[in-house]
Amino acid sequence: MDVITLLNNFTTTIDPSFDSNYTYNGSTVNPFMANTEIPAPLYTTPKGPEHQEGPNISNQALYISIIVVCSTIMFLAICCGGICLCKLKYRFVALRLNFINARFRNTESGGRPAMSNDYLSSPTSRKVSAVTDSWELSPENLVIHKTHRLGNGAFAIVYKGVLTGRNPLLLVRKSLNFATENSDSTSTEVAVKMLYNHADESAQEDLLREISFMKRLGYHPHVLSMVGCITLGYEPLLVIEFCANGDLLSLLRRHRSDFLPDSPSPLKPDDVHLTIRDLLSFAWQVADGLIYFGSKNFIHRDVAARNVLITHDLVAKISDFGLCRHSEDALYTTKGGKLPIKWMALEALTQAEFSPASDVWSYGVFLYELLSCGDLPYPTVDPADMATHLKNGHRLEQPIMCDDELYSLMKKTWSSDPADRPTFQELRTSLTRILENMTESYGYLSVTAEYARLASVIGGFGFPTQHPAPDPSIVAILDELADPADTSIHL
């Protein structure tokens, strides 16, 4: 081992195995050699292949890989969470619907529903429910014509559709004869009620509630019936009977020219014309349907011309069960919601009480719409003032196409005391008598002299199209023979 003296004051020992040679700018340098100058800065690199530097790993690529992996994991977690949330939401809605159905079952006065609903009784077993619920339809068998809109509301829209194959309603009434688009008897014209895309969860629950109600309502010829529904695995759809003539209010306004002079007529030459007998027939059919409602212990709460649908054969069917409720001891109380103010009974406006008697009041307003060809009731009264208006004893005036006997019946439906109002059975009996007493040859109702003069001016007003118009001279003679004190004449 060599000893070297540095700067005369220090010594150092050099290991012979240490290689003191370094490479600088391609030249070999020994820093311990005397009189050797090393330029600054000095960078040295160890010699030999064992000391050569290996390739560097990019930190940026590593960071990118970590971010991609973490993002993928987060995306998968969000997807799984969303799927679980949708399943929980669907199960929650099913449980709510089961609760509603159970409430109807517990409060019904008697009898079983027309068709069982195992889906509601076991909402957790979806596969079994889809098979055992007789009302459930296969989406493949339903064609919806979205170019043929029948009606719409705030959250739902109704389209015309065609159902092929099995018709669940035929399980209730095998003798029913449904309209078809063609000669194929396996297809049925239907109406399909569905939600808008922007409809919220509350609207979905309302539609499911309506489906549940219609399952329990069963079938009646003067009540709109459900044909089937789709509730499993898809947005809920309600499939109902198709009524070619639409709602009664629109029908009345289209046919004003059949009854009122100088009214614009949108009718085509081959369109059927309505008669007074037709109007009274609609009134009878609606009363008949509401009797069925009462037998089921239901309150409609929205009896109006807009909620009566008319088939191609002029059969009236009560519809729109959005406000319909099952009565508790014949009385239902509500504290909120949108309600038809001008059709509501006095106690409904002042105390929010609804009963079969309040439906009778609304039916009287319906008769006013019917015999005025669709006039709005109380057109000059603000809805906020309706309660005061009725408390002061004001009622709707007698329509021009309404005789005294019928108007007297209407006024009874607007009695302030619900106990003084007639029942729907009594109303149907009265209408039966009026229809039987109408002149068979012309289908006339007993009318006032003013009404007869109006008929002579129009020519054929109120008459079936197959009969000729009455001779104006005959009407004039009858006018003269009429007792001045009694303005009613009978044709």
What is the helix (H) or strand (E) element at residue 409, kind and residue range? Answer: helix 404-413
In terms of average pLDDT, the best of 40-44, 116-120, 471-475, 478-482 is: 40-44
Choose, from 258, 278, 302, 359, the residue flagged as catalytic. 302
Q: How confident is the model at residue 325 (pLDDT cuts 50, 70, 90)?
A: low
Q: Answer yes or no: is pLDDT of 305 > 50.
A: yes
453 vs 315 pLDDT, higher one: 315
- pLDDT of the residue at 42: 46
Which tokens is 130 given? 């889809």
Q: How far apart are CA 311 and CA 317, in angstroms?
A: 8
Q: How far apart are CA 357 and CA 143, in angstroms?
A: 41
Per residue in 336-386, pLDDT tens? 456 789 999 999 999 988 999 999 999 999 999 999 999 999 999 999 999
- pLDDT of the residue at 220: 93
Q: Answer yes or no: is pLDDT of 488 > 50.
A: no
Which residue, chain included where needed, has tokens 């971010």? 67
Q: Which of 227, 223, 215 has its CA nearest to residue 311?
A: 223
Set out the domains of the chain in order of their start, with CATH numbers: 133-171+184-242 (3.30.200.20), 243-330+337-455 (1.10.510.10)
Alpha helices for 316-448 (secondary structure H) = 346-351, 356-371, 386-391, 404-413, 424-437
Provide the CB-side half-sphere exposure for 219 (13 A, CA).
Answer: 17
**Which residues are 1's β-sheet partners?**
none
- pLDDT of the residue at 425: 97
Q: How confident is the model at residue 197 (pLDDT cuts 50, 70, 90)?
A: confident
Q: How far apart are CA 423 and CA 357, in angstroms?
A: 7
Is 174 a known ligand-binding residue? yes
Per residue in 3-53, pLDDT tens? 555 445 545 555 555 555 555 455 555 555 545 454 555 444 454 444 444
179 vs 153 pLDDT, higher one: 153
Q: Catalytic residue at 302?
A: yes
Q: Is residue 217 classed exposed, middle or buried when 0-12, 13-18 and 19+ CB atoms within 10 A define those classes?
A: buried
Q: How far apart are CA 444 and CA 280, in angstroms?
A: 10
Per residue in 334-348, pLDDT tens? 444 567 899 999 999
Q: Answer yes or no: is pLDDT of 57 > 80.
A: no
Q: How confident is the model at residue 111 (pLDDT cuts 50, 70, 90)?
A: very low
Q: How confident is the model at residue 445 (pLDDT cuts 50, 70, 90)?
A: very low
- pLDDT of the residue at 21: 55
Q: How confident is the model at residue 388 (pLDDT cuts 50, 70, 90)?
A: very high
Q: Answer yes or no: is pLDDT of 180 > 80.
A: no
- pLDDT of the residue at 15: 55
- pLDDT of the residue at 83: 85
Q: Answer yes or no: is pLDDT of 211 > 70.
A: yes
Q: Is residue 440 classed exposed, middle or buried when 0-12, 13-18 and 19+ CB atoms within 10 A define those classes?
A: exposed
Q: Which of 223, 25, 233 has its CA nearest to residue 131?
A: 233
In terms of average pLDDT, the best of 96-105, 271-280, 323-332 is: 271-280
- pLDDT of the residue at 438: 78
